[in-house]
Structure 1
Amino acid sequence: MATDINIKSLFPALRNTQVARPATDIFNTSFIGIDFGTSTTVVSIATIDKGTKEISTKPIWLNQKLDDGAIMSSEKIPTVIAWYNNQLLVGKGAADLKYQLKKGVNVWYSFKMELGEDLGSKYYNSELDRNSSSPILNPKDAAKVFFQYLKAQIDRYIRTNNLPTNMQFAVSIPASFEANQRKELIFALEQNGISINKQSLIDEPNAAFLSYVQVSSSENNPLTLPEGDNPKVLVFDFGAGTCDVSILELGKDLNGIYSKNLSISKFEKLGGDDIDRLIAIDFLFPQLLKESGKSHEDFRTPEKNRIVTQLLKPAEQLKIMICENISLKMSNRILPNESISKDYVSVGNRVEIDTRKGLLTLSEPKLSYAEFNEAMKAFLKSTSLVPYRTKNVTDEFATIFSPIQTALKKASLSKDEIDYVLFIGGSSKNPYVQAALKEHFKESELLIPRDLQTHVSAGASIHSLIYNGFNKNIIQPITSEPFLVITKDETPKVILKAGTHIPCDLIVIDDLVTSQDGQQAIELPICLGNVNKLLYNIKIVSSSSSGFKRNTPVKLELEITTDKLLLARATSIGQSVMVEPINPFANKELTTEQRIVLKAERQANIEAEQNGGKPTKAGLEALYKAYEKVGNDLRAAETLELLNEIYPSIHNYNQIGVLFSSAGYDEKALEYYELAYQKDKDATTAFNYAYKLKSKDKAKFKEILEESLRLEPDKPHSLYELGKLLKREQDPKGKEMIQKAFESWKRKFESNRMSESDYSWLSSAADELGMRDFAQQVRDSKPKFNGEKLYNSENLTITSREEGIIKK
């Protein structure tokens, strides 16, 4: 016999005649649930009927000031802050100015997804600086200001409606939000008197499930649990900034109906905002350039990004128009033929964007259904999980099937074993997304609530009532990724599995030992998910000059708190070390190269903020060198170009040209090489200018090469290029010049004095002289960037084969 699934069946205490031992006075407490969204935030309140014990929820209407001073009220508040006409706007008024003002200067949005990224004063030229009453210099500041406004509106609602002033809160967040993101969110909440106790944070998919259970039950259409079956529910949460997937299992045990997490997808910065951005990059930006008679090479990456930002509003409008039109014609979640037609929709508003190259104009931003369908393919690929990369403005866009596949894999389930797919998040309204999931989950029933944007806050308020009121958690949260320690073993050692229920008991790992005698330090790098996401490096330094002996036991103790924070301690021969996270970007997988760049960006931001919002010379120099070091020549060139604009020097022209040339931007390289030749003439600037003229003006190419050799007769690069030219003209001097250049580079090679670029020149000269084996030897010996290690691999431990167990 099937059993209805409702809040009472999941939490049997509510069925009792007398509500059993509440943790607080539940009838004199306001239980608040906040769905803190990337684009929209919703607040709900849950109450319980004294007689029936039925729980009911309703969204709270929040007042929001418009830019003209008028007040409007809605249950949805855009997660946007603006500083306009010397007044602070939060919500609708700020959202209306979102694309008119400058992000990070006088308008702030999408800061939820930036929490946990310690980039210093990311908004270094913010108009709300340290001297303001509400400074906003980083995402944590923005969240603090936003919740200050939200708390004031909640207080007003409670007073106006004569509700209990004793308030208990729960806040819904992405299931894959990680420790540093949670930590900064909790800080912003607590700074505004929104106290969060233990498990008051609830994963958004879990909150959505609670809300759906309550609503479907109240409408007499409940989910059912067949006898002897354990249905699986995949919760697909596609919002403005996140795509979170959780898989729940429903079942029955001695305590009644239960619901438990089976898996959570890995953190994926993917949402509806990305669809807007891809439309802006791939379709509107080319329209803008064509109408304005410009090329994408006319603009540096930061300016391209600013232009794209100003195209996001029409991109979003076009997306909404197409989705609404298709939804009206959609039947049974199957797309109509119009979804791939060449018919256009257009936004009447003319777009004008002021740039360094003058005013850019787009008279009529437009998009065809076929183009939108093409854009959606990047997000709906199920056969390949490789992100789609744009070209003119470099960006990457993941597919929604990436988090779906990771969640299924962690739960050891196939797509055909999913009974229900529950949609949440505003971006789940997209008909192309619904059609793709219907096609993918052919054996599953799709559950689509009437209001995809408000029911998460309702679920959060239910959680607030049950957890804060009864100290119970209907769905126990789990870890989304495994924790690993890097050792000298072949593979990293798993010290905590993905899917572990939290909070968990103390875990002790005591099968690690040192690997060599005389080891001065023991290092235990702890990662989340994989080795590119380093959280800690626990380091124990020997108190003895003789160091640690080989096979010295090392004990590692771990604990996951209710807020998903990892506590770790390591001990060896009486020495104990407890650590704080070392990685300020724990929510990102980072290569060594990315760490180097982020460190430089952070320092540049801090210095710019301290310099009154103007980037410092030292900060920009360090940043361009960091980009150059890791091989991002375009960003290095653009950063050095910016440095030269703010702090002019003719000696920068040649290096800017070199970097643009390495990045493949030949026209920009030629522009700067010519400037260097004119303003700072020597053999090198003459050669570089000549080299860029090679395919454009052969006569001038030869003329300036000869000028380079007059300035420096032994310049090997000029000798080689002029030698090749003369050789083709059957002039015997050509081979002599190539030989002379070869000998010059070879001497440097043999004395280990080669620059990185000279390896390719020497190997080319060797090829030209018929020395193929030597040319290959040179190519093979070119040094490769190995990065900067965050730990010393010689200090790693190794798993003892003879003894040791993992204890709980």
Structure 2
Amino acid sequence: MKSIGIDLGTTNSVIATIKNGVPYVIPNNEGSRTTPSIVAYTKDQKILVGQLAKRQSVINPKNTFFSIKRFIGLRKNEIDINLENLPYDIITDTNNNIKIKCPAFNTVFSPEEISAQIIRKLTDDAKTNLNEPITKAVITIPAYFNASQRQATIDAGKIAGLEILRIINEPTAASLAYGLDKKNKTILVFDLGGGTFDVSILDVGDNVFEVLSSTGDINLGGDDFDKNIMSWLIEIFNKKENLNILEYPKSLQRLTEAAEQAKIQLSTHEETEISLPFLITKPKDGGEPRHLNTTLTRTTFEKLNNTLINRCKEPLQKALLDAKLEPIDIDEVVLVGGSTRIPAIRSLIKSIINRKINESANPDEVVAIGAAIQAGIITGEMKKMLLLDVTPLSLGVETLGEVMTKIINRNTTIPASRSKTFITASGTQTSAEINIVQGEREFVSDNKILGCFYLEDLPTHMDNSRSEIKITFDINEDGILAVKAQEKKSKKEKSIIIQNTSTLDENNVQSIIDEAEKYAEQDQEKRKFAELASQAEIFCLEIEKILQLNESTINETEKIKIKTLMNEIKLNIKTKDFNSLQNHYNELKLILDQLTKN
């Protein structure tokens, strides 16, 4: 049975395998090496995928679904897309999960189900081409997919009937494809696909591929360039014809296709004609059919998309900074994704990294080839290589004072396992709440809570000693996180796997890291106060117990002084007066030391 690699793309998808020891892109039944990531459901209960779905999209816009990768594993409040410009309808279930409305079948589908149709089409065509069964696959994902998106991609593969050997990041897969015959190279992979943008820097040598850094923008891709062209066309048309084209779904679908074609044309031409006769055949005002004819120049295209082009700059610079490299340290730049053909994008890359771009591989196919290589490595068809990926954001737990304590730092090579031991706030505490947090800020409220669980039935300690809880974070090759908490004395433990909750904020990872840097000094001051306040509160609880146990041996003057200081500490915590809190806390500790000596 053959194993395959799948690049499940936003715009197009590709499938590849290892044939006679060499990576091989498998053409689909239509003879093309790429398959449009489009699924359509027809009134006569047929399911169309790929080119057939694309061809009928104009006459069936409400039941033709594209760019689904941008929704997989997310909730509606987490997407950064103008849904008004989509010809089909997106709704949510009771948990705010995205569902896509399908009038033809009178039902709704999850993004995983629609993605599974694309995977099934790729797999079925591959079976026909190779004339043998296919049951196992490696699927690629953007480097900045969160845990929910990663798990949703695995689920889509399972729905399609495949055993998912592994999911790997698209830039990493590309480096495998480009780096097969290279030794001791530092490679920058610039991946601008239809829906996401990643930059990864890798060290390649002696069959070891190590990711040094990975940054990106999960809400930036070729679709966004198309949408800006589309908005420009809508403005021109509505102004000229005094109509709102958003009320005509079939016309919107034609505009979507025209915008994409214009972008492609401008990669090789200075201007392109956009001609859409009978864009609206039956206007609601009862007038004559309306047409659209205009010219889009490359200069206008770059002005329309200037913000998007510039958004590619910061992650590129950040990747270098995270890898502790200068542009001169990069040996090769390789491109992934059809949108890297945009001349302005290539100019941007060259302006920062003065290296010739490696164009030895097709940017549309290289990710699938890398996935096939990884599948071959796992199944033994390819020579063993070591693939070392990284986790993009830090992971930790909430500790006293709503502080985030990191257990695994960002850019840690995965798979990874890290542990830290914590103590309970008091000896009488019988349960501990474990909040799992992801992000770069010092406080939980500024980061993302991934999940929560409780470790219960902790042993109590009459001598006021406290329970020790060891918390272990394990990230597997797919970036899926497992967390275990164990009380050291009783060995009681509880664990959770983070797979059904989104792990990133609505903003992209880059902005999270930028915020962490911007507020670093302020956060450190807040953290210092939170830690001191927590220590002081715990100390006051211990003092109260000491007063109760030694009431007869402590004189009234000392008692009044201690209680006064404790009240001052409570007031300092309330008013967030760090210096006074520090002084009163130290004074209280000094009194306790004297009492202990006596």
Query: Which among 71, 75, 83 is matched to residue 114 of structure 1?
Result: 71
Distance 1:456 1:580 in 2: 28
**Match of 2:484?**
569
**1:95: Cα distance to partner?**
1.5
SS at 2:69 equivalent:
helix
* Within-5 A mapping of 1:397-412: 399-412=311-324
Larger radius of gyration: 1
Contact 2:262 2:272 (8 Å CA) reproduced? no
Contact 1:520 1:547 (8 Å CA) reproduced? no
Distance 1:346 1:566 in 2: 48
Query: Which among 230, 255, 277 is matched to residue 280 of structure 1?
Result: 230
**Match of 2:147?**
179
Contact 1:518 1:548 (8 Å CA) reproduced? no
Distance 1:370 1:465 in 2: 45
Distance 1:492 1:548 in 2: 29
The answer as to 2:328 corresponding to 1:413 is no
* 1:86-116 Cα deviation digits (max 9, x unpaired): 22211101112335433xx411111122211
Contact 1:483 1:494 (8 Å CA) reproduced? yes
**1:350: Cα distance to partner?**
4.4
Distance 1:541 1:490, change over 3 A: closer
**Match of 1:101?**
60
**Match of 2:238?**
289
SS at 2:386 equivalent:
coil
* Within-5 A mapping of 1:445-456: 445-456=356-367
* Within-5 A mapping of 1:613-762: none
Contact 2:188 2:201 (8 Å CA) reproduced? yes
The answer as to 2:309 corresponding to 1:380 is yes
Distance 1:515 1:453, change over 3 A: same
**Match of 1:679?**
none
SS at 1:363 equivalent:
strand
SS at 1:278 equivalent:
helix
CA root-mean-square deviation? 3.5
**Match of 1:156?**
128
Query: Which among 409, 427, 439 is matched to residue 529 of structure 1?
Result: 439
More strand as a share of residues: 2
Counterpart AA for 2:265 = M
Distance 1:115 1:242 in 2: 12
Structure 2-normalised TM-score?
Answer: 0.71
5+ residue gaps in structure 1?
1-28, 49-54, 64-71, 218-222, 226-230, 327-342, 382-398, 592-808
Contact 1:380 1:401 (8 Å CA) reproduced? yes
* 1:210-249 Cα deviation digits (max 9, x unpaired): 22234xx5xxxxx454xxxxx4211011111111111101
Distance 2:254 2:505 in 1: 27
Query: Which among 262, 265, 270 is matched to residue 215 of structure 2?
Result: 265
Counterpart AA for 1:98 = S
**1:305: Cα distance to partner?**
10
**1:154: Cα distance to partner?**
1.8
Distance 1:85 1:270 in 2: 34
The answer as to 2:200 corresponding to 1:246 is yes
**1:459: Cα distance to partner?**
2.2
Query: Which among 51, 61, 77 is matched to residue 35 of structure 2?
Result: 77
Distance 1:187 1:450, change over 3 A: closer
* 1:165-202 Cα deviation digits (max 9, x unpaired): 476432222222232222222222223332123xx323
Distance 1:378 1:361, change over 3 A: farther
Query: Which among 356, 378, 403 is matched to residue 467 of structure 1?
Result: 378
Contact 1:350 1:364 (8 Å CA) reproduced? no
Counterpart AA for 2:101 = N
The answer as to 2:469 corresponding to 1:493 is no
**Match of 2:173?**
207
SS at 1:324 equivalent:
coil
**Match of 1:508?**
419
* 1:557-593 Cα deviation digits (max 9, x unpaired): 21112322111122347453323448633344479xx
The answer as to 2:408 corresponding to 1:458 is no
Distance 1:478 1:99, change over 3 A: farther
Query: Which among 573, 586, 590 is matched to residue 503 of structure 2?
Result: 586
Distance 1:548 1:279 in 2: 71
Distance 1:438 1:98, change over 3 A: farther
Distance 2:365 2:9 in 1: 10
Counterpart AA for 1:378 = T
How many residue pairs were aligned? 479
**1:276: Cα distance to partner?**
0.4
* 1:299-347 Cα deviation digits (max 9, x unpaired): 8xxx699986663222222222222214xxxxxxxxxxxxxxxx77433
**Match of 1:46?**
18
The answer as to 2:266 corresponding to 1:322 is yes
**1:550: Cα distance to partner?**
8.7
Counterpart AA for 1:194 = L
Contact 1:537 1:582 (8 Å CA) reproduced? no
**1:117: Cα distance to partner?**
1.7
Distance 1:483 1:358, change over 3 A: farther
**Match of 1:671?**
none
* 1:334-375 Cα deviation digits (max 9, x unpaired): xxxxxxxxx774334442298988889452244233321202
**Match of 1:623?**
none
**Match of 1:805?**
none
**Match of 2:49?**
90
**1:440: Cα distance to partner?**
1.7
**1:257: Cα distance to partner?**
5.2
Distance 1:420 1:127, change over 3 A: same
* 1:276-296 Cα deviation digits (max 9, x unpaired): 012222x11211220132589
The answer as to 2:330 corresponding to 1:364 is no
**1:437: Cα distance to partner?**
0.8
* 1:698-733 Cα deviation digits (max 9, x unpaired): xxxxxxxxxxxxxxxxxxxxxxxxxxxxxxxxxxxx
**Match of 1:663?**
none
Contact 1:266 1:481 (8 Å CA) reproduced? no
Counterpart AA for 1:318 = A
Distance 2:505 2:285 in 1: 35
Distance 1:434 1:124 in 2: 35
Contact 2:38 2:66 (8 Å CA) reproduced? yes
SS at 1:325 equivalent:
coil
Contact 2:147 2:501 (8 Å CA) reproduced? no
Query: Which among 20, 23, 30 is matched to residue 57 of structure 1?
Result: 23
* 1:565-622 Cα deviation digits (max 9, x unpaired): 111122347453323448633344479xxxxxxxxxxxxxxxxxxxxxxxxxxxxxxx
Distance 2:458 2:250 in 1: 54
**1:491: Cα distance to partner?**
5.3
Contact 2:190 2:199 (8 Å CA) reproduced? yes
The answer as to 2:347 corresponding to 1:347 is no
**Match of 2:539?**
none
Distance 1:450 1:581 in 2: 36
Contact 2:43 2:105 (8 Å CA) reproduced? no
Distance 1:292 1:462 in 2: 53
Distance 1:440 1:430 in 2: 16
Counterpart AA for 1:417 = D
**Match of 2:7?**
35
Counterpart AA for 2:315 = P
Distance 1:544 1:590 in 2: 42
Counterpart AA for 2:362 = D
Contact 2:57 2:64 (8 Å CA) reproduced? yes
